[in-house]
Amino acid sequence: MIKKEKTRRAPTESDVAKLAGVSQSAVSRAFTPGASVAKATREKILHAAQSIGYQPNLLARSLATRRSNIIALAIGNLENPFYAMVVKELSEQLAETGRHILLFTTPKGDEADPALERALSYQVDALVMAASMASIELTMQCQKAGVPIVQINRETKLPGISTVWGENQRAGELVAAFLYKAGHKKYAFVAGTKNSSISQMRQNGFETYLKSAGIKKIKTVYGDYTFEAASIAARSLLSAKNPPDAIFCASDYMAFAVIDVATREFGLNVPKDISVIGVDNVPEAGHSAYDLTTFSQPAGSLVEEAINIIDKMIADPGRRAIRCEVAGELIVRGSAKEPKDGFINNVDNKIWLE
Amino acid sequence: MIKKEKTRRAPTESDVAKLAGVSQSAVSRAFTPGASVAKATREKILHAAQSIGYQPNLLARSLATRRSNIIALAIGNLENPFYAMVVKELSEQLAETGRHILLFTTPKGDEADPALERALSYQVDALVMAASMASIELTMQCQKAGVPIVQINRETKLPGISTVWGENQRAGELVAAFLYKAGHKKYAFVAGTKNSSISQMRQNGFETYLKSAGIKKIKTVYGDYTFEAASIAARSLLSAKNPPDAIFCASDYMAFAVIDVATREFGLNVPKDISVIGVDNVPEAGHSAYDLTTFSQPAGSLVEEAINIIDKMIADPGRRAIRCEVAGELIVRGSAKEPKDGFINNVDNKIWLE
DNA sequence: CTGAAAGCGCTTACAG
DNA sequence: CTGAAAGCGCTTACAG
């Protein structure tokens, strides 16, 4: 009594050809935009295809054309909503040109290669890395194979890897200026991982501004871009003898952890007792539970530039790596004391321009 | 002065064969586990392969074997951290058997087909859907092609689609019991989308318990599984003449919105003035900003079962759809008033057993 | 154990 | 405009 549907194999070009009374190559042409087919035969073919539910086998096409239309995405930190947005944006924007993501989740640390070698084997058209890092070997392999790599939000010393990031230096400077002009005296920075160049650039901007303003002591602590590590970092910061009253975090996600610890464990009021500012402007930053002041890093724009780069590299494989910076702005919400002036009202946000 | 690396095409089996002085089929066998090759030749081949950096072309292999080892994942709501976890878990668990995700982000609503047809064209081995729904046409196509579909966290009337979900009915009942025994009188339910069977099951459990306890009026409002819609729903609930003091939400993500609105906009204290309980137990539920009491739905287990189902369906294509329920528990945190007793301490959590 | 050959389902010069 | 044929890089009976 079990109904066993025979899973007959999918129809191919030859099946359609037979039905339409043409050659198999004609069928191929009918499905190739711009190929030369008479209108009448084309229609006859499409009709036949329709009737038996023919769909081109993209694997076979990829093999023949050496273009898979699939892009490998290596992502190291999907817990962070910023990277969840990157995935979503990349998937949607690629879909506009009929391309798709082959996903590789990599350990958060660095150098996630063994898995990524498989990506090359799948003949992906490009590799994008987010919160993840390519090793030298992988980079060389990609270069040899003509597969462009672009990193989102991370720098490499490795040549030949394109990069797109936000305004990291400016983020640090602007946040410093904002806090300084709001009257803060004791500063701390919650960094990402130790070797994160992005974090270093933000830190650099932050410290450069403050030092030139005469602030010498700026404590730095590492949150490793995770909620747990950032919580621990916050505890060490706040339980010191002379705790900071202004904390800049290298990501919103870590800022959330800092706010949680400050308010729940130390009974502090944000922003009365302590100001906290992040970077990214993830959706949660707008939730009133956190209501986070933050320097934005628009995932949509980052991804858009990443795709631009991929397309350029594919069009001209000999091309050098491209680096691209995407503008952000300091979005003012309720987690930090404010300076007197310098504000402007954007479409949806109140932003600060110094 | 621009260094133009010639992107020579990747080495193939034939290249290796020539170098090792064997036939191309021998090379293939050397890379096929369990194929019959003499140990000596095998080593000679692997050595040659190594020396020119040969990696098998997985597209070609897939074409020949009719097994791509790629699984299409259609995901409709990546903003919700629960689904971000599903993606991560699925990717990691599939990687254990050398399989990977081809990602399709679909509009949140239902029936995300036009895009998904492409998945079939890529000859994926299976299709998993999360917060996304397959149309009848797509389902039929999959069935014809022998591609199993499994839905995570959503029911379908369609036959032939396997499903894995949490204990929805029990979640509703247990939450109702918890709130009732804590002494609440005025209940509301924040549902997901109108046609979400999962939401309906939770609602059903919730109402069944309460009605049999003598509570007749239980207001229901729709949060559509989004933060924004849930915020609006919360406002309508709380601005009513006789607002509820206990709200059960069909997802944690919506519960966050409800808590935000209750505390910030209505000045209510959670849980003193109002109890809020969710479902999912996403990582954010443990953050002290929300500290959410919630019925858990373990993404890792759901994914594990989904993969089990896929494997069974592939092994026996004639097989009927499989449905599988994964156990959860009521995790007690600080967002709801508590009954006197019924608690137990788990490894990491305090849970309630009624 | 090994090689020659056919086949997986496409694309694309090449003739006509 | 159209078809026959070779090729994309693999796997897998089939002989030997």
For B228, nearest residue in chain A (alpha carbons): A287
Task: For B329, list phi and psi in degrees, rounded to 5.
Answer: -150, 160
For residues A192-220, average pLDDT: 95
Q: How far is the CA of A311 from the C1' of C15 (A)?
A: 36
**pLDDT (tens digit per residue) in B144-175:** 888 999 999 988 777 778 999 999 999 999 99
Cα separation, A262 vs A332, in Å, equals: 20
The helix-helix angle for B81-95 and B299-315 (nearest 10°) equals 50
Is A105 in Cβ contact with B103 (below 8 Å)? no
pLDDT recorded at residue A5:
41
**Test the B interface: residue of A61, A100, A125, A291 with most B CBs within 10 Å:** A100
Sequential DSSP letters for B278-300: EEE--GGGGSTTT--EEEE--HH
Residue B4's CB is within 10 A of a number of other CB atoms, namely: 10
pLDDT recorded at residue B319:
87
Bond from prior residue into B271 cis (ω within 30 degrees of 0): yes
Residue B2 has pLDDT above 50, yes or no: no
Q: How far is the CA of A20 from the C1' of D1 (A)?
A: 16
Q: Which band of pLDDT confidence, cut at 50, 70 and 90, is reported for residue A267?
A: very high
**Among A3-12, A184-193, B13-22, which is the least confidently predicted range?**
A3-12
Minimum-distance residue to D11 (CA–C1')? B64
Q: Provide the H-helix boundaries in B39-106.
A: 39-52, 58-65, 81-95
Positive/negative CA dihedral, A188, A193, A197, A198: negative
For chain A, how many helices (H) and strands (E)?
13, 14
Residues in CB range of A223: below 8 A, 6 or more apart: A190, A191, A192, A229, A230, A233, A234, A249, A250, A251, A254, A257, A258
- Count contacts between A and B (CB, < 8 Å): 173
A322 in B contact zone (CB under 8 Å): no
How many Cα atoms sit within 13 Å of A60 on the Cβ side?
A: 11
B26 CB and strand C closer than 7 A? yes
For A283, nearest residue in chain B (alpha carbons): B79
Quote the mean pLDDT of chain B.
92
Cα separation, A232 vs A260, in Å, equals: 11
Long-range Cβ contacts of B320-324 (<8 Å, 24+ apart): B320/A2, B320/B160, B321/B159, B321/B160, B321/B161, B321/B162, B321/B163, B322/B150, B322/B162, B322/B163, B323/B162, B323/B163, B323/B164, B324/B162, B324/B163, B324/B164, B324/B165
Largest CA distance in chain A: 87
**pLDDT (tens digit per residue) in A55-105:** 999 999 999 999 999 999 999 999 999 999 999 999 999 999 999 999 999
Cβ-Cβ contacts under 8 Å, A259 against chain B: 289
A339 in B contact zone (CB under 8 Å): no
DSSP 3-state of B232: helix
pLDDT recorded at residue A112:
63
Is A102 in Cβ contact with B118 (below 8 Å)? no
Matching residue, tokens 């490894």: B347
Nucleotides in chain C near protein beta carbons (<7 Å): 1-5, 7-13
A15 in B contact zone (CB under 8 Å): no
pLDDT recorded at residue A1:
36
Residue A263 has pLDDT above 90, yes or no: yes
- Give how far B148 is from chain A: nearest CA, Å: 11
**Residue among B55, B84, B256 minimizing CB distance to A84:** B84
Is B105 in Cβ contact with A103 (below 8 Å)? no
Cβ-Cβ contacts under 8 Å, B55 against chain A: 117, 120-121
Task: For B94, list phi and psi in degrees, rounded to 5.
Answer: -70, -35
Sequential DSSP letters for A103-134: EEE--SSS--HHHHHHHHHTT-SEEEEES---
B141 in A contact zone (CB under 8 Å): yes
Is B84 in Cβ contact with A63 (below 8 Å)? no
Q: Give, for B71, the enclosing helix (H) or strand (E).
A: strand B70-75
Cβ-Cβ contacts under 8 Å, A264 against chain B: 288, 291
Cα separation, B297 vs A118, in Å, equals: 32
For B214-246, b/e burial (b = at least 16 CB within 10 A) is ebeebbbbbbbbbbebbbbbbbebbeeeebbbb
Q: Give, for B351, the enclosing helix (H) or strand (E).
A: strand B350-352
Cα separation, B238 vs A261, in Å, equals: 29
B52 in A contact zone (CB under 8 Å): no
**pLDDT (tens digit per residue) in A170-194:** 999 999 999 999 999 999 999 999 9
Evaluate whether B126 touches B71 at the Cβ level (below 8 Å).
yes
**pLDDT (tens digit per residue) in A25-49:** 999 999 998 888 899 999 999 999 9
Residues in CB range of A43: below 8 A, 6 or more apart: none
Evaluate whether A147 touches A178 at the Cβ level (below 8 Å).
no
Residue A4 has pLDDT above 70, yes or no: no
B67 in A contact zone (CB under 8 Å): no
Cβ-Cβ contacts under 8 Å, B98 against chain A: 118
Evaluate whether B300 touches B89 at the Cβ level (below 8 Å).
yes
Per DSSP bridges, beta strands B218-222 and B187-191 are parallel
pTM, entire model: 0.93
- Per cent of chain A over pLDDT 70 is 96
Cβ-Cβ contacts under 8 Å, B265 against chain A: 288
- Give Cα B111 distance to the centre of its chain: 17
**pLDDT (tens digit per residue) in A98-129:** 999 999 998 775 566 678 888 999 999 999 99
B87 in A contact zone (CB under 8 Å): yes
Residue B4 has pLDDT above 60, yes or no: no
Q: How far is the CA of B67 from the C1' of C16 (A)?
A: 40
Residue B242 has pLDDT above 50, yes or no: yes
| Window 39-68 of chain A: CB closer than 7 A to strand C | 54-57, 60-61, 63-65
For residues A15-34, average pLDDT: 92
Nucleotides in chain D near protein beta carbons (<7 Å): 1-5, 7-13
Q: Provide the H-helix boundaries in chain B.
A: 13-20, 24-30, 39-52, 58-65, 81-95, 113-121, 136-145, 168-181, 197-212, 227-238, 252-260, 299-315
pLDDT recorded at residue A107:
78
pLDDT recorded at residue B6:
47
Strand order in the sheet with B330-331: B218-222, B187-191, B246-249, B275-280, B293-296, B330-331, B350-352, B343-345
B37 CB and strand C closer than 7 A? yes
Is A53 in Cβ contact with B117 (below 8 Å)? no
CA nearest neighbour of A94 among A313, A312, A298, A307: A307
Cβ-Cβ contacts under 8 Å, A4 against chain B: 318
Cα separation, A348 vs B111, in Å, equals: 31
A81 in B contact zone (CB under 8 Å): yes
Residue B1 has pLDDT above 60, yes or no: no
- Give how far B115 is from chain A: nearest CA, Å: 8
CA nearest neighbour of A193 among A225, A164, A240: A225
Question: Per the structure block, which two tokens stand in for B220?
Answer: 């229901």
pLDDT recorded at residue A109:
58
Residues in CB range of A99: below 8 A, 6 or more apart: A69, A70, A71, A125
**Residue among A100, A120, A318 minimizing CB distance to B55:** A120
**Residue among B59, B70, B289 minimizing CB distance to A259:** B289
B64 in A contact zone (CB under 8 Å): no
Q: How far is the CA of B23 from the C1' of D16 (A)?
A: 15
Cα separation, A320 vs B20, in Å, equals: 36
CA nearest neighbour of A302 among A329, A279, A324, A285: A324
Evaluate whether B89 touches B299 at the Cβ level (below 8 Å).
yes
Residue B81 has pLDDT above 60, yes or no: yes
pLDDT recorded at residue B110:
56
**pLDDT (tens digit per residue) in A270-307:** 999 999 999 999 999 999 999 999 999 999 999 999 99
Virtual torsion, Cα B29, A125, B77, B286, nearest 10 deg: 70
Q: How far is the CA of B121 from the C1' of D4 (A)?
A: 27
- Give how far B254 is from chain A: nearest CA, Å: 12
DSSP 3-state of A9: coil
The residues in A 249-308 lying below 8 A from B, measured between CB atoms, are: 256-257, 259-261, 263-265, 283-284, 287-291
Cβ-Cβ contacts under 8 Å, A256 against chain B: 287, 289
Per DSSP bridges, beta strands B275-280 and B293-296 are parallel
DSSP 3-state of B236: helix
Cβ-Cβ contacts under 8 Å, A102 against chain B: 70, 100-103
